Amino acid sequence: MLNTYRYADLQPEFELDYAGKASLERTPIKPLNAGETLPSFHIHKKNIIARADILKSLNGSLPITQLLDRPLVLAFHSIHWNDYGNRRLQELQDIYADIRVMGGNLLVATAEDKATFDFATEKLQLPFAIISDLHNHIAKKAGIYSSTDPIWDRVSGINADVAIPAIYVLTPSLKITYASVDAWFEKGLSSRELLSAVYTASQEEDHAIAI
């Protein structure tokens, strides 16, 4: 019997099968480093968990670049980091006043929504700005989150789909002047290094404005 099927008739099936396999390929996290620029992102008032500093007068939605007039410390957080996450919030609380003195602002992006975050941190009195980074939108821009390279695949005790810890110091144009990424949950916050980076960025920004 003559086979009437042609390769051209079958080709779309092969292409669809290949596309399906390609989508499952592992894309490893690749954190941004100092010297690189963080892609811009919008902040909407519905995602604000705590208003302070740059978020005090935000109404509606604005790109982060329109909210900055000084260096920004952008710190990521998740309650699913367990004790590590609690320590990170405490470290940021302890250093917040010094960040302000050195000429910077602080913004924490947490993977949780407001209700979940507030319930988990109700005993803390956090004075800084906090936003909800649902679906790790901002973390993905920073290269610290990939759905195909999950934390729980290499760090025991974490079984949620969240980003790895990271803190960045950004200029108003979102250039990264300092990056601290802790992919293995082994490091604490280096206050001296962070404050030095904020101060340096602030001085450079003031100099640029004066020119």
- Domain-located, residue 19: no
- Domain-located, residue 181: yes
pTM of the predicted model, to two decimals? 0.86
Is residue 158 within 8 Å of 90, Cβ to Cβ? no
- Residues of the chain with pLDDT > 70, as a percent, come to 85
Per-residue pLDDT reduced to its tens digit, 181-190: 999 999 889 9
Instruction: Work out the mean pLDDT of the chain and round it to a whole number.
Output: 87
Nearest alpha-carbon partner for 105 in 64, 132, 74, 78: 74
- Domain-located, residue 17: no
- Domain-located, residue 137: yes
In this predicted structure, the answer to whether residue 145 has a pLDDT above a threshold of 60 is yes
Most confident of 25-29, 159-163, 167-171: 167-171
Q: In angstroms, how far is CA 152 from the centroid of its own chain?
A: 18
Domain span holding position 140: 36-210
Q: For position 7, what pLDDT does the model report?
A: 36
Residue type, 64: I
Structure tokens at 49: 């968990």
Cα–Cα distance for residue pair 54/57, rounded to 1 Å = 7
Number of domains in the chain: 1
Cα–Cα distance for residue pair 123/107, rounded to 1 Å = 20
Instruction: Give residue 24's pLDDT band: very low, low, confident or very high (50, 70, 90).
Output: low
Q: In angstroms, how far is CA 59 from the centroid of its own chain?
A: 22
Per-residue pLDDT reduced to its tens digit, 94-142: 999 999 999 999 999 999 999 999 999 998 989 999 999 999 999 999 9
- Domain-located, residue 117: yes
- Domain-located, residue 59: yes
CATH number assigned to the domain comprising residue 52: 3.40.30.10
